[in-house]
Amino acid sequence: MKQISSSLAAAVALAALSRVSALTPEGMLAANRYSDAAPNPSGEFALFTVSNYSFDTKESSSVWKKLDLTTGDISVWYEGSDISEVAFVGPTPSSIIYVNGTNEEDNGGISLYSADALDLSKAKLVASLPAPYSGLKAAQTASGDIHFLVYSKAYPNGTAYNEALASTPASTARIYTSIYVRHWDTWLTPDRNAVFGGVLKGGNGSYALSGDLKNYVTGISNVTSAESPYDQSDQNDYDISPDGSAIIFNTKDISLPLANYTSTQIYYVPFNGFAKDAVPINPRGGTKYPEAQGASTTPRFSPSGKKIAYLQQNGIAYESDRNILYVADADPENFNVTSLALNWDRSPDSLAWSKDSETVFVAAPDLGRERIFPLPLTAGDSYEPQNITDEGVPAAFYVLPDESLLVSDSKIWTSRDIYAVSPKGEVTQTYFQANLVDPALAGLGPEIVSEFHYETNTSEIKQQAFIIYPENFDASKSYPLAFLPHGGPQGAWYNSWSTRWNFKVWADQG
């Protein structure tokens, strides 16, 4: 049965008494913004951030919140933005390593701390790193050591780039030896993103950095054009195995002109190895799917460590082709790549493994929403996945120990919903709904949206459209209409909250 926490029930009652008011650009921009809720390994609690901007003080603020996944209670976990990232890793389900965005040397680097998430007062400094690394991922080894990954820009020689320590060039002139000189509005520099790995020696919550961080990317096949995360991407481009013995990362195809092709490959390398040891899981034309030559994304180890899931497009020079789900064996001698639901006409863009490593959950755009679908490893080419979520667009989802999913999503009427859903699609608990809590979103709900389908004179395929109603809408009155076509045709306007294209702000302008 669907349950609503006591704190949420109180918020519902409060919201019911709130007056519906127009959503202004200022109100939308000043409203709280939420990260996804990331659960600890035992599924007892989850952490997420809440940040906002004040037009009065002209300042931003941030706070970490702790969500009790049993009671639904939400409390303050940490005040401030000093802690930028948290990774659950260590001897207990509440053991963490976290990133502080500064270090004692104040040289543009970061600090790593070990702690118990239930008692931050005993946090211990374990490393001061001399570059603005981010994207922390970590795994505990059988010895009790922690292997971790971060990424940063790196010089062509492989060392991490730190803008605070970089020398000022004598000239603003730039020399390029290829036609790939700019990505969107960013002029490219010789520095490229690279995944770095480090070792924290110790145990029982007491650790110390052992040696220097290692660059796994720069130097692949004796070239320096490899890059991961690629360009303006993030930590979704790499992963570490559950036992910390291997890593995988995504990079542009190093044998093709970067300006003309979007092809990327997933590389596998032992954690104790080097960039020269990296081998591609899906070399172009090198698997039993020779048509799979396009961009690859989202490589993920299974909890068992025996499988690797990733997404890849066919089009070698087309960044918006359909993503197809592939699964490989985590064996560099024979990756044995297999597709799942090859003929499925949806294009998944994120994924997570089930705890038993037998199912891959993917999120894919579907009829104006982005829905979550489970795909078993036995899914053949003609398999038709069935969605287990409906409205909204997930920001992230995590599989809990009981195989239910903790979902953080948004909708046109709410900037964040957090709820649990079973593998069969039953919402078992709703933890948080921003539109019932945040004053800036008071009065917003699913009733402000409707949809219809239509055909055009050039296509008999039914097209879908949303209608967003203004404040205090009266069906007996006439209103001006703003028609917002989306870009694409590959993309769409989805049922999601946006601070860039907020439909309710448009509707409430009259």
CA distance 47 to 118: 11
Six token digits for residue 204: 């029982």
Structure confidence at residue 224 (pLDDT): 66
CA distance 235 to 423: 26
- Answer yes or no: are the C-beta atoms of 137 and 240 closer than 8 Å: yes
Structure confidence at residue 504 (pLDDT): 96
How many CB atoms lie under 10 A from the CB of residue 373? 22
The number of helix segments (H) and strand segments (E) in the chain equals: 3, 33
pLDDT along the chain (510 residues), means of 10: 43 43 91 98 98 94 98 97 96 97 91 97 96 97 97 95 92 90 87 96 86 95 80 91 98 90 96 96 93 96 99 93 98 98 97 98 96 99 98 98 98 98 97 96 95 85 91 93 81 92 91
Residues in a beta bridge with 251:
265
CA distance 204 to 168: 44
Closest CA to 7 of 308, 432, 339: 432
Structure confidence at residue 461 (pLDDT): 81
CA distance 21 to 483: 22
CA distance 197 to 229: 14
Residues in a beta bridge with 148:
138, 198
| 94 Cβ contact list (under 8 Å, min separation 6) | 40, 44, 88, 116, 117, 118
Structure confidence at residue 205 (pLDDT): 65
The dihedral sign for the CA sequence 465, 470, 471, 477: negative
Structure confidence at residue 11 (pLDDT): 46
Six token digits for residue 340: 């799942």
Q: What angle do CA 216, 218, 224 make, to 5 degrees?
A: 160
CA distance 386 to 283: 31
Closest CA to 225 of 248, 193, 197, 270: 193
Structure confidence at residue 457 (pLDDT): 82
Six token digits for residue 389: 């979520």
Return the H-helix or E-strand segment holding 504: helix 503-507
Q: Map tokens 């949206």 to a residue.
A: 449
Q: Does residue 40 sit in helix, strand or coil?
A: coil
Structure confidence at residue 246 (pLDDT): 99
